[in-house]
């Protein structure tokens, strides 16, 4: 196999950056697009010079090796199964699935069929987080003993014209929405999580939409929106986590890691750029490393395609994403049941990305 043929299912907002990057990332060739809304697929097809097809037509194409599933989280499992059953490798936008059970079933099916599954986020492959990984691996702060993770905003109804899915089951809430970025970044740095404890609350029963055609109308809140947790890692580190749609403002960093000989502030895990900062030393700039500037969503897809060609593990793997989904599920259950929960799945720290993909 030379270049890898890619088909996209789902041409919503997030598809724009993937379409842009598939063109410039090595080893990928866009073959076709599909969407439940034909006009969305047709717009993308016209811009990038590929056919707009039905899902069935796209899955029947012999020149498509990998399908990029950019549908809404609730459709990740059902559409993902269609892709695997059609004999295609699968790469998904986060989260892997809307529920842990769906994610486990999807991974089992991929294993049975001998097909690769990869999943965003791949921001941990950006220059900022790879610089943090290098600093940690080289012992710049000694052995990691703890850290903090903070993602607290006032709520997506302030800017999103249709925020319903952020507050509905399954797949809603700040932890499912943004947790994959932060938890994947932590696994890249500290390895797998082994145990969690948490508490959560739901301060408001409904949210008022501020923008768009539905401005002034409300949506019900079906999930807890303020979550505090503790994560114990196999490495021995213990990390505090705060995820909220109820905080008007705060003064915390996205991620901090504390070691036996120092501390470091890690860039926003929703970005590829940024600077790794230390209280008592020179910072590490993401721009000095591959993919350290710009929005490079799709690196994980390109790495998976290269891994298929080279017969090596890929970094943004389904195994990693499944571990993250189990951690999210466990945090939710720990809050509901008021107990500590052990994580059963395992995963390796992804290999560092030291050079640009070839």
pLDDT at 1 over 60: no
Express as a percent the part of the chain with pLDDT over 70. 100
The DSSP string of 212-226 is STTTT-EEE--S--E
**Domain parsing of the chain, residue ranges:** 4-119, 126-289+315-342
Question: What are the two backbone dihedrals, phi and then psi, of residue 264, each rounded to the nearest 5 degrees?
Answer: -145, 150
pLDDT tens, position by position, 165-180: 899 988 789 999 999 9
* CATH, domain range 4-119: 3.40.50.720
**For the segment 97-140, what is each residue's pLDDT rounded down to a tens digit?**
999 999 999 999 999 999 999 999 999 999 999 999 999 999 99
pLDDT at residue 358, rounded to an integer = 75
pLDDT score, position 267: 95
> What kind of architecture, by CATH, is found in domain 126-289+315-342?
2-Layer Sandwich (3.30)
pLDDT at 280: 87
Please answer whether residues 127 and 290 qualify as being in contact, where contact means their C-beta atoms are separated by less than 8 angstroms.
yes
HEC string of 231-289 equals: EEECCCCEEEEEEECCCCCCCCCCEEEEECCEEEEECCCCCCCCEEEECCEEEEEHHHC
pLDDT tens by residue, 311-331: 999 999 999 999 999 999 999
| pLDDT tens, position by position, 17-61 | 999 999 999 999 999 999 999 999 999 999 999 999 999 999 999
pLDDT band at 305; cut points 50, 70, 90: very high
- Whether the CB-CB separation of 188 and 133 falls below 8 Å is answered with yes
Q: Tell me if residue 298 falls in helix, strand or coil.
A: coil
Which residues are CB-contacts of 46 (< 8 A; sequence separation ≥ 6)? Answer: none
């Amino acid at each position: 196999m030379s270049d890898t043929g890619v088909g996209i299912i789902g041409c919503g907002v997030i598809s724009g950056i993937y379409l842009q990057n598939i063109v410039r990332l090595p080893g990928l060739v866009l073959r076709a697009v599909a969407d439940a809304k034909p006009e969305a697929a047709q717009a993308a097809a016209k811009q990038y010079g590929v056919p707009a097809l039905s899902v069935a037509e796209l899955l029947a194409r012999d020149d498509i090796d990998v399908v990029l599933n950019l549908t809404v989280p609730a459709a990740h499992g059902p559409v993902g199964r269609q892709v695997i059953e059609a004999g295609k490798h699968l790469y998904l936008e986060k989260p892997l699935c809307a529920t842990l059970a769906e994610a486990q079933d999807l991974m089992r099916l991929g294993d049975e069929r001998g097909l690769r599954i990869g999943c965003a986020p791949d921001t941990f492959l950006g220059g900022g987080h790879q610089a943090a990984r290098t600093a940690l691996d080289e012992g710049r702060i000694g052995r990691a003993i703890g850290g903090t993770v903070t993602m607290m905003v006032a709520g997506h109804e302030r800017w999103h014209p249709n925020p319903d899915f952020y507050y509905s089951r399954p797949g809603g809430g700040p932890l499912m929405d943004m947790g994959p970025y932060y938890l994947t970044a932590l696994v890249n740095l500290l390895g797998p999580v082994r145990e969690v404890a948490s508490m959560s609350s739901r301060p408001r029963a409904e949210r008022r939409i501020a923008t768009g055609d539905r401005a002034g109308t409300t949506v019900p809140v079906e999930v807890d929106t303020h979550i505090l947790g503790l994560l114990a890692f196999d490495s021995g580190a213990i990390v505090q986590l705060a995820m909220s749609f109820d905080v008007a403002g705060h003064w915390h960093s996205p991620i901090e890691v504390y070691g036996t000989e120092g501390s470091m502030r890690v860039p926003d895990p929703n970005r590829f750029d940024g600077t790794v900062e230390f209280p008592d030393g020179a910072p590490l700039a993401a721009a000095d490393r591959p993919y350290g500037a710009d929005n490079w969503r799709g690196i994980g897809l390109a790495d998976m395609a290269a891994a298929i060609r080279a017969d090596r593990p890929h970094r943004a793997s389904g195994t990693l994403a499944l571990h993250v989904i189990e951690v999210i599920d466990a945090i939710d259950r720990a809050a509901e049941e008021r107990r500590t929960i052990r994580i059963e799945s395992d995963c390796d720290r992804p290999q560092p990305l030291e050079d640009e993909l070839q």
